[in-house]
Amino acid sequence: MIDFDRVIERRGTHSSKWDNIARLSGIKSPDAIPMWVADMDFAAPPGVTAALTAELQRAVHGYYADTGSWAAALVDWMARRHGVQVDPGWVSTTPGIVSGLGLILQAVSAPGDEVVVFPPAYHAFRRIIVANERRILDAQLVASAGRYAMDLDALRAKLSPRTKVIFLCSPHNPGGTVWSAAELRALATLCAERDLILVSDEIHCDLVFDGAKHTPTMAAAPEIADRLITCIAATKTFNLAGAHVGACITSNAALKRRLDARIGASGLGSYNRFGMIATEAAWRTGEPWLNELLPYLAKNRDLFDDRIQTAAPGARSMHLDGTYLAWVDFSGTGLAPEEVAARVSQRAHIFASPGEQFGPGGETWLRFNFATPRPILDDALARMDEAFSDFRARK
Ligand SMILES: Cc1ncc(COP(=O)(O)O)c(C=O)c1O
């Protein structure tokens, strides 16, 4: 039994989530609660701690020799958890997914080319596209039956000869949409029709709740294997974001060579020893921990949704099938987004991610990370209740 209720003090530990609050949000209060960036406040799986402890006790931390055991652990995980057969020869290791996305862009596109994203979408997609001097092509998601859907006809009409790549987030962040095999196949058809590379960022694939099932794009649409790159990591699943290790997977050998050339050109062919040890141990030993984590997170999601909607009448959470990032629309409160933001940050002292960060369609939304021990979640929800108490009284 893992004690996910245990509160671990993270202030003053070089935690970006906790120690960057004042700098990034302007919330100066020492009791501020961070509900922004996607890392969890739980201890890593015991097998990860054991592997890192063994490394620390040996106390020699020289260059890492990649013997293939890391990719083998990834392959076993993907087969066991997601029913897909990945060949270890398809795997390129990168210092995280976002760096992998940048390297992919450099490998398959040129400055000025267009890259499709489906907003509201993970903000680093936008950042890495612009930083690589490519252009963002927004394919607005539409909310339908309480979840997001892609409007591929609208996207088709927008594509140009400069459109080269699609960044898909699967499951989707924010909004927690788990794409169906049919939706993925429809997108794959579009990619084949218009000669586009599809990058399927599946970093949240293991964080799926209540009978929803993640379908790897490579399983849904094997017919586009030659134009598909799947991004996978153990870091989100097992709360090892600081380990900064990810994988880009493609069965297209020529495409992989182009990507590996970019990895080599940036001197990234030698990997972070601690990250490799931690993430391999996670895939090999972390499954029981994950199996206990998921119901804990699902309960947090239900508590959060219930209480946020009571605290701020009119606020609505999108029903998450995956991720631990509640996506809440405050437009139904009738309050201006600035007022909602001020109540959350200045009265509740909660740092949530502003919806506008995720691109068009996010303006009236806030994203809240609820992957925290229940005593912290309870405190946050009590503060939200207080922050909107006069608003409720006016109604
Ligand atoms: C969709 C998505 N991709 C990538 C990342 C970050 O990956 P990394 O830390 O490996 O760069 C996140 C983190 O929240 C994410 O939500």
Provide the 3-class DSSP secondary structure of residue 242. helix
Which atom of ligand 1 has the smallest separation from the CA of 98?
A: 11
C-alpha 335 to ligand 1 mean position (Å): 31
| Cβ of residue 97 lying under 6 Å from some atom of ligand 1 | yes
C-alpha 98 to ligand 1 mean position (Å): 6
The neighbour count for residue 28, using CB atoms within 10 Å, is 10
| Cβ of residue 286 lying under 6 Å from some atom of ligand 1 | no
Which atom of ligand 1 has the smallest separation from the CA of 37?
A: 14
- Tell me the C-alpha distance between 392 and 395, whole Å: 5
Which tokens sit at 312? 């701020």
| Cβ of residue 103 lying under 6 Å from some atom of ligand 1 | no
The strand order across the sheet containing 325-329 reads 33-35, 350-354, 365-369, 325-329, 316-317
**40-56 average pLDDT score:** 98
**Is a pLDDT exceeding 90 seen at residue 394?**
no
**134-158 average pLDDT score:** 96
- Tell me the C-alpha distance between 254 and 296, whole Å: 43
DSSP state letters, 123-184? HHHHHHHHHTT-EEEE--EEEETTEEEE-HHHHHHH--TTEEEEEEESS-TTT-----HHHH
Q: Which residue out of 98, 126, 245 has the highest number of ligand 1 atoms within 8 Å of its CB and is therefore the one to mutate?
A: 98
- Tell me the C-alpha distance between 92 and 110, whole Å: 21
| Cβ of residue 357 lying under 6 Å from some atom of ligand 1 | no
| Cβ of residue 233 lying under 6 Å from some atom of ligand 1 | yes
Task: Dump pLDDT digits (tens) for 212-260.
Answer: 999 999 999 999 999 999 999 999 999 999 999 999 999 999 999 999 9
**Is a pLDDT exceeding 90 seen at residue 107?**
yes
* 216, 230 Cβ separation under 8 angstroms: yes
- Tell me the C-alpha distance between 188 and 198, whole Å: 8
Which atom of ligand 1 has the smallest separation from the CA of 38?
A: 14
- Tell me the C-alpha distance between 241 and 243, whole Å: 5
Query: How many residues make up the chain in this entry?
Result: 395
What pTM, to 2 d.p., does this model score? 0.97
- Given this model, what pLDDT does residue 395 score? 74
The CA-atom distances, in angstroms, between 166 and each of 76, 181, 192, 391, 395 are 27, 17, 12, 42, 45
* 272, 241 Cβ separation under 8 angstroms: no
**Is a pLDDT exceeding 90 seen at residue 75?**
yes
pLDDT category of residue 145 using cuts at 50, 70 and 90: confident
Handedness of CA 11, 35, 128, 356 (dihedral sign): negative
Which tokens sit at 299? 């309960």
Closest CA to 167 of 90, 236, 98: 98
Provide the 3-class DSSP secondary structure of residue 34. strand
**Is a pLDDT exceeding 90 seen at residue 38?**
yes
**4-9 average pLDDT score:** 98
Q: Which residue out of 97, 204, 208 has the highest number of ligand 1 atoms within 8 Å of its CB and is therefore the one to mutate?
A: 97
| Cβ of residue 169 lying under 6 Å from some atom of ligand 1 | yes
- Given this model, what pLDDT does residue 379 score? 98
| Cβ of residue 216 lying under 6 Å from some atom of ligand 1 | no
| Cβ of residue 117 lying under 6 Å from some atom of ligand 1 | no
C-alpha 310 to ligand 1 mean position (Å): 31
Which atom of ligand 1 has the smallest separation from the CA of 95?
A: 10
- Tell me the C-alpha distance between 38 and 322, whole Å: 13
Degrees (nearest 5) of the Cα angle 26, 8, 346? 20
